[in-house]
Amino acid sequence: MSGRVRSLADLGESALIARIARRAGRQVGRDWALGIGDDAAILSTRAGQELVFSADAQVENVHFRFGRETPRTIGRRALAVNLSDLAAMGASPVGALMSLSAPPTASVATFDAIIAGFVDEAARFDCPLVGGNLSSAGEWSLDITVIGRCRRGRALRRKGLRPGDSLYVTGVLGQATLVRLKADRTGRRLTRVPTPRIEAGQALSRLAGTRACIDLSDGLATDLGHLLSSDGFGAEIDATVLPRPRGFLRDCALLGLDPIAVQSGGGEDYELLFAFRSERNRSAAEMLTRRLGVSVHRVGRVTSEPGIRGLPPVREGHHF
Amino acid sequence: MSGRVRSLADLGESALIARIARRAGRQVGRDWALGIGDDAAILSTRAGQELVFSADAQVENVHFRFGRETPRTIGRRALAVNLSDLAAMGASPVGALMSLSAPPTASVATFDAIIAGFVDEAARFDCPLVGGNLSSAGEWSLDITVIGRCRRGRALRRKGLRPGDSLYVTGVLGQATLVRLKADRTGRRLTRVPTPRIEAGQALSRLAGTRACIDLSDGLATDLGHLLSSDGFGAEIDATVLPRPRGFLRDCALLGLDPIAVQSGGGEDYELLFAFRSERNRSAAEMLTRRLGVSVHRVGRVTSEPGIRGLPPVREGHHF
């Protein structure tokens, strides 16, 4: 014994599941008739609602590295990026399932820290962990399925925009890329986790002028392409008005980066990009900022002509 | 070009998702307001129902090997083992999400065959693929979340058995282990996929005498232990009456295997094990066989004394 690191194989599957259930079990609220520990979790449904489902995986050395992020950050982030998909639908979180794969030689301390991060994030957004599974594997991966709820017919989709609509983003763009590059330079470990815009998405789903919405996981240019492709329209963006993090131009200069390329091509900001009916008055951004509870900036407009004008072209995604 | 194998990286994420959507898109029925292609899928819920959720991953070199199974079998199996969890709840399938991770160098032909297997199985069980995600990774893994539906309060749980209840299994035990061992000997590739007992589970959920149910993924001894641990009871099993596949004793003799050890310890049969109120007459198994649409055998009974008698002891699971 004497200080030897305990591995996942030392503990075994049942004991590991029990560790998760102990941490997560208290969160399961009245929606759930049954949480972790059976063949499946049971959710009571309500009339007049729709449920929404999304799944997203975080894979070691693709989405995270143990040298770069803390285990706690990896756990928090795995849920946060999934909650961002619920935000983009205007849905409120109902629960999550986690499939966790890890090498049998991995340490229990790492496992515990990842679970703790996940469960803390789950508590923050009222999204209890209700099920999932564990498997041994050659590398770590956390695959999360989230369940959300909307009033019937109110979910925000990618489809629905019209030429002339204004395009808005929440928050600032380029932050995630900059923080990651700075961490790479300094060797400090990343602890930043994106904030899923759950409340902003819900507010958008209640506003009559909202046409379509997507979250910015792959970067503005790529995700705007996804939003537009649903209807076959195009967009004109004014790259000079993209909202910037504090000190952004100075930091880009120090790191030798093109600010617009970072804001347009850098992913993982997990802000919302949405199309809104154009208003006659110029104060729509102010109204939206007030209603969504987060800063909102107009960045361009939808055009009937396909293609994106005003942003540098992008290459296809990072992961294949 | 000239015969060069196309890789997943050659095609890219968007094209791969489009390939999946083309195959799976037609299956999405009236329950789903939205399937693949947005930030999340949208399900219309009905009053008086419960939804159940389960997730299970199949990882390369842990749950399957490309040398041993065909890609099509891997795809079918990834869904089948998840449907088995719905069967154990007495639920009917509503839909599935798939997180697929694969090396960027993997061939598109392998990818297509896995998806084809999955989608065929989905069609067979009316369980449309409605969402998921793709990621590059060092190894293949298919993590599936299934969604099922039950009448409110009717889901079968692991908890609920009482001393004196009879224990039954559907089908035969030991088949999966035997087929795998035979394939290993002969070098033939495995194409067998377990049949999830969806209809049997639904029938059980309608019978007043059903107390508790689990599916046999890890083997009779282990899963019986899970069933019993929910209530703290024990069981007495008659290992001589465990239902055997045709030619089982002869095959075990040829392979030098202990038949009871194979039936008790070998996993992946995906039959149902359930506790049923004891009947005075001896024809309960006949009644259950008729109602469940699959052969049912009584294998023992629940005891107030904890522990399992009549089966060889088991070691903790295969995967950690």
The 10s digit of each residue's pLDDT in B113-147 is: 999 999 999 999 999 999 999 999 999 999 999 99
Nearest chain A residue (CA) to B85: A39
A296-303 and A272-276: which strand pairing? unpaired
The radius of gyration of chain A from alpha carbons, rounded to an integer in Å, stands at 21
Q: Is the pLDDT of residue A2 over 70?
A: no
Q: Which of the 8 DSSP states describes residue B26? A: G
Out of A9, A137, A316, closest to residue B59 by CB: A137
Which residue in A has a C-alpha nearest to residue B319's C-alpha? A136
Shortest distance, CA A176 to any CA of chain B (angstroms): 20
- Note the pLDDT tens digit of each residue in A192-221: 899 999 999 999 999 999 999 999 999 999
CATH 3.30.1330.10 in chain A: give the residue spans: 11-151
The Cα A237–Cα A166 span in angstroms is: 10
A42–B104: do the CB atoms touch at under 8 Å? no
Query: Cβ of A40 and B16 within 8 Å?
Result: no
Q: Is A171 left (phi over 0), alpha (psi -120 to 50) or beta?
A: left
Alpha carbon of B314: minimum distance to chain A alpha carbons (Å): 14
Closest alpha carbon to B289 in B207, B187, B185, B181: B207
Spell out the residues 6+ positions from residue B78 whose beta carbon is closer than 8 angstroms to its own: B58, B98, B114, B118, B142, B144
Query: Which chain B residues contact residue A46 at CB under 8 A?
Result: 45, 47
pLDDT digits (tens, 9 = 90+) for B185-197: 888 888 889 999 9
Facing residue for A137 by CB, picked from B16, B40, B141: B141
What is the tens place of the pLDDT at every residue in A247-266? 999 999 999 999 999 999 99
Contacts of A101 in chain B (CB under 8 A): 57, 59, 141, 143
The third-level CATH classification (topology) of the domain covering A166-309 is Phosphoribosyl-aminoimidazole Synthetase; Chain A, domain 2 (3.90.650)
Confidence bin at B38 (pLDDT 50/70/90): confident
Predicted TM-score of the model (pTM):
0.93
The predicted pLDDT at position B315 comes to: 63
B63 and A33 in contact by Cβ < 8 A?
A: no
Say if the Cβ atoms of A40 and B47 lie within 8 Å.
Answer: no
φ, ψ (nearest 5 deg) of residue B45: -100, 160
Nearest CB neighbour to B155, from listed A42, A101, A150: A42
Among A174-183, B33-42, B78-87, B188-197, the least confident range: B33-42
Pick from B16, B99, B215: CB nearest A55: B99
Token pair recorded at residue B214? 């689990």
Over chain B, what is the mean pLDDT? 92
Which CATH architecture best describes the domain A11-151?
A: 2-Layer Sandwich (3.30)
Closest CA to B149 of A40, A25, A133: A40
Q: Where in chain A is the domain with CATH 3.90.650.10?
A: 166-309
Q: What is the ipTM, given to two decimal places?
A: 0.91
Rounded distance between C-alpha atoms, residue A75 and residue A122, angstroms:
10
Mutate to test the interface with B, among A56, A316, A320 (most CBs of B within 10 A): A320
- Residue A49: what pLDDT? 87
CATH code assigned to B12-151: 3.30.1330.10
Tell me which of A38, A107, A146, A314 to substitute to probe the interface with B (most B C-beta atoms closer than 10 Å). A38
* Cβ proximity of A304 and A229 under 8 Å: no
| A87 pLDDT more than 80 | yes
CATH 3.30.1330.10 domain residues, chain B? 12-151
